[in-house]
Structure 1
Amino acid sequence: MSNERPWLAHYPAGVPAQIDINAYASVAAVLDEAFERFSGRPAFSNFGTALTYAEIDAASRQFAGYLTGVLKLAKGDRVAIMMPNVLQYPIALFGALRAGLVVVNTNPMYTARELKHQLEDSGAKAIVVLDNFAATLQEVVAETKVKHIVTTGIGDLLGFPKSLVYNFVVKHVQKMVPAYSLPQAVRFRDALSQGASHALPSVELTHDDIAFLQYTGGTTGVAKGAMLTHGNMIANMLQASAWIGASAKPGEEVIITALPLYHIFSLTANGLVFMRLGGLNWLITNPRDMPKFVKELKQSGFTAMTGVNTLFNGLLNTPGFAEVDFSKVHLTLGGGMAVQRAVAERWKKVTGVTLAEAYGLTETSPAVCINPLDIPDYNSSIGLPIPSTDVAIWSEEGQPLPIGEVGELMVRGPQVMKGYWQRPDETAKVLEPSGWLHTGDIARMDERGYVYIVDRKKDMILVSGFNVYPNEVEDIIMQHPGVAEVAAVGVQDEHSGEVVKLFVVRKDPSLTVEQIKEFARENLTGYKRPKVIEFRDSLPKTNVGKILRRELRDEKKASA
Structure 2
Amino acid sequence: MSERPETLPELVRAAAERFGDAEAVVDLPLRLTFTELAERVSVAAGAFAAAGVGRGDRVAIWAPNSAEWIIAAFGLLTAGGVLVPVNTRFKAEEAGDIIRRSEAKAVLVEEGFLGLDYAAPAGVPVIDLKSGFLESGRPFERPVRPGDVCDIMFTSGTTGRPKGVMMTHAQTLRLYAEWCALADLREGDRYLIVNPFFHIFGYKAGCVASLIAGAAIIPVPVFDLDLVLELVERERVTMLPGPPTLYHSLLEARGRRDLSSLRCAVTGAADIPVDLIRRVRSELPFRSIMTGYGLTEAGTVTASRPGDTFESIATTVGTPCDGVELRIAEDGEVLVRGYTVMVGYLHDPAATAEAIDPDGWLHTGDLGKLDEAGRLRIVGRKKDMFIVGGFNAYPAEIESFLLEHPAVAQAAVVGVPDERLGQVAKAFVVRAAPVEGDDLIAWSKKRMAGFKVPRSVAFLDELPTNATGKVQKELLR
Report the TM-score range of the alignment, normalised by the length of the smaller protein. Answer: over 0.9
**Match for residue 233 of structure 1 among 168, 172, 176:** 172
- d(CA) in 1 for partners of 2:400 and 2:269? 16
- d(CA) in 1 for partners of 2:171 and 2:289? 26
Give the 3-state SS of the residue equivalent to 2:145 in structure 1. Answer: coil
- d(CA) in 2 for partners of 1:377 and 1:484? 17
Correspondence 1:200 to 2:200: no
- d(CA) in 1 for partners of 2:439 and 2:387? 25
- d(CA) in 2 for partners of 1:51 and 1:378? 40
Give the 3-state SS of the residue equivalent to 1:363 in structure 2. Answer: coil
**TM-score normalized by the length of structure 2:** 0.93
CA drift of 1:249 comes to 3.5
CA 1:264 to 1:256, structure 2 compared with 1: closer, same or farther past 3 Å? same
Deviations 1:205-255 (A, max 9, x none): 1232111110005111111100011122122123323434xx4442x2112
**Match for residue 223 of structure 1 among 146, 162, 183:** 162
**Match for residue 451 of structure 2 among 527, 535, 541:** 527
Deviations 1:164-194 (A, max 9, x none): xxxxxxxxxxxxxxxxxxxxxxx1x2x1342
CA drift of 1:421 comes to 0.3
Correspondence 1:91 to 2:71: yes
Give the 3-state SS of the residue equivalent to 1:50 in structure 2. Answer: strand
Counterpart of 2:134, as a letter, is: L
**Match for residue 466 of structure 1 among 388, 391, 400:** 391
Contact 1:25 1:205 in 2 (8 A): no
Deviations 1:1-42 (A, max 9, x none): xxxxxxxxxxxxxxxxxxxx9943211111210022112011
**Equivalence for 2:356:** 431
Among all aligned residue pairs of Structure 1 and Structure 2, give the percentage whose two residues are the same amino acid.
Answer: 30
Contact 1:85 1:285 in 2 (8 A): yes
**Equivalence for 1:35:** 16
Give the 3-state SS of the residue equivalent to 1:391 in structure 2. Answer: strand
CA drift of 1:526 comes to 1.5
Name which of structure 1's ranges 418-427 and 84-93 shifts more when overlaid on structure 2: 84-93
Correspondence 1:391 to 2:326: yes
CA drift of 1:336 comes to 4.8
**Equivalence for 2:127:** 150
**Match for residue 57 of structure 1 among 27, 34, 38:** 38
Alignment size in residue pairs: 473
**Equivalence for 1:358:** 292
- d(CA) in 2 for partners of 1:129 and 1:345? 41
Contact 1:477 1:483 in 2 (8 A): yes
- d(CA) in 2 for partners of 1:119 and 1:137? 15
**Equivalence for 2:240:** 305
Contact 1:360 1:369 in 2 (8 A): yes
**Match for residue 511 of structure 1 among 417, 429, 435:** 435
- d(CA) in 2 for partners of 1:262 and 1:320? 28
- d(CA) in 1 for partners of 2:33 and 2:47? 21
Counterpart of 1:68, as a letter, is: A
CA drift of 1:485 comes to 2.8
Contact 2:271 2:316 in 1 (8 A): no
Deviations 1:71-99 (A, max 9, x none): 11111111111111111111111111111
- d(CA) in 2 for partners of 1:370 and 1:98? 31
**Equivalence for 2:190:** 254
Contact 2:412 2:471 in 1 (8 A): yes
- d(CA) in 2 for partners of 1:472 and 1:336? 13
Counterpart of 1:279, as a letter, is: A
Deviations 1:485-534 (A, max 9, x none): 321100011211110001223344x5322222233233333211110222
Deviations 1:350-379 (A, max 9, x none): 225353210111011x11100003324231
- d(CA) in 2 for partners of 1:336 and 1:101? 31
**Equivalence for 1:3:** none
**Match for residue 274 of structure 1 among 207, 210, 217:** 210
Deviations 1:243-288 (A, max 9, x none): 34xx4442x211221111221012111211221111111222221x
- d(CA) in 1 for partners of 2:103 and 2:289? 40
**Equivalence for 1:117:** 97
**Match for residue 546 of structure 1 among 448, 463, 470:** 470
**Equivalence for 1:7:** none
Correspondence 1:243 to 2:167: no
Give the 3-state SS of the residue equivalent to 2:290 in structure 1. Answer: strand
CA 1:338 to 1:216, structure 2 compared with 1: closer, same or farther past 3 Å? farther
Contact 1:313 1:343 in 2 (8 A): yes
Unmatched 5+ stretches in structure 2: none
Contact 1:311 1:545 in 2 (8 A): no
Deviations 1:428-453 (A, max 9, x none): 11112222111111112233322221
**Match for residue 495 of structure 1 among 407, 417, 420:** 420
Correspondence 1:127 to 2:51: no
- d(CA) in 2 for partners of 1:291 and 1:212? 33
Give the 3-state SS of the residue equivalent to 1:231 in structure 2. Answer: helix
Contact 1:266 1:306 in 2 (8 A): no
- d(CA) in 2 for partners of 1:199 and 1:347? 46
Runs of 4+ off more than 6 Å? none
CA 1:29 to 1:337, structure 2 compared with 1: closer, same or farther past 3 Å? farther
**Equivalence for 2:408:** 483
Larger relative contact order (CA 8 Å, sep ≥ 6)? 1
Counterpart of 1:113, as a letter, is: E
Deviations 1:435-494 (A, max 9, x none): 211111111223332222121111112212222221222223234343343211000112
Larger helix fraction of residues: 1
**Equivalence for 1:375:** 308
**Equivalence for 2:279:** 346
Contact 2:91 2:117 in 1 (8 A): no
Question: In the TM superposition, what are the counterparts of 1:285-324 in structure 2 within 5 Å?
Answer: 285-287=221-223, 289-316=224-251, 319-321=252-254, 324=257
**Equivalence for 1:213:** 152
CA 1:209 to 1:144, structure 2 compared with 1: closer, same or farther past 3 Å? farther
Contact 2:182 2:290 in 1 (8 A): no
Give the 3-state SS of the residue equivalent to 2:339 in structure 1. Answer: coil
Give the 3-state SS of the residue equivalent to 1:307 in structure 2. Answer: coil
